[in-house]
Amino acid sequence: MSDNDEVALRMRAIEALLIEKGILTSEVVDRVASTYEHDVGPLRGARVVARAWTDEAFRARLLEDGTAAMAELGVGGFVAEHVIVVENTPDTHNLVTCTLCSCYPWGVLGLPPAWYKSPEYRARAIREPRAVIRELGTELPAETRIRVWDSSAEVRYLVLPMRPAGTDGLAEEDLVGLVTRDSMIGTGLAAEPVA
């Protein structure tokens, strides 16, 4: 049994005990997990990306020192103490993984998706990143170079996705909704605006 499996078993046992003792309900646990997964985490990272798309000076600071720039927006914290931001361009697409475990900037992106923690993703993202990205729903042009970044306990990575075409007139708050968790990991692209 791996350390991750052991931790997951302990967490489930603690959760079950707290529910059994009436300290928590399963609904509360589900609500907290859902909020952290869908609102708190990815929304925080999306705000960072949208600001970078609309503020060139912020973008430059973000690429130079991601942790400090994100702190300007109050973003960081839990396992996001040192974040390096890598930028997608028309020629280069970035993909983040963690080959040793599943290091992930929770304070920026929320809960990691189950596939991010799987040994298969962690291994294949290094060996065949284009295939992994395709299997998760994104087809990149053959000429696009893919760079894979391996997170660790000391440093996490955040992908700054390319701003979608046709969004020049959108305000920062409207752009937030186009930034997906997967686009900030590199397994997807930012969403296209709805016509």
CA distance 36 to 42: 8
Residue 133 has a pLDDT of 97
Residue 151, annotated ligand binder? Answer: no
Kindly list the domain boundaries of the chain, sorted by start residue. 3-185
Whether 103 is a known active-site residue: answer yes
Residue 101, annotated ligand binder? Answer: yes
Active-site residue (options: 2, 26, 102, 151): 102
Amino acid at 159: V
Whether 98 is a known active-site residue: answer yes
Work out the pLDDT band at 3, boundaries 50, 70, 90: low
The three-point CA angle 156-99-108 to 5° equals 25
Residue 183, annotated ligand binder? Answer: no
Compute, in degrees rounded to 10, the torsion defined by CA atoms 164, 85, 79, 153: 130
Whether 26 is a known active-site residue: answer no
CA distance 141 to 125: 17
Contact by Cβ (8 Å): 176, 50: yes
Contact by Cβ (8 Å): 66, 158: yes
- The predicted-structure confidence for 7-56, as pLDDT tens digits, reads as follows 667 778 887 888 888 888 888 777 777 666 655 668 889 999 999 999 99
φ, ψ of residue 89 in degrees (nearest 5): -130, 175
Active-site residue (options: 2, 26, 98, 183): 98
- The predicted-structure confidence for 128-152, as pLDDT tens digits, reads as follows 999 999 999 999 999 999 999 999 8
Report the CATH architecture of 3-185. Answer: Alpha-Beta Complex (3.90)
pTM of the model: 0.80
Residue 150 has a pLDDT of 92
Contact by Cβ (8 Å): 45, 158: yes
Residue 166 has a pLDDT of 92
pLDDT at 107 over 80: no
Active-site residue (options: 2, 26, 34, 101): 101
Residue 98, annotated ligand binder? Answer: yes
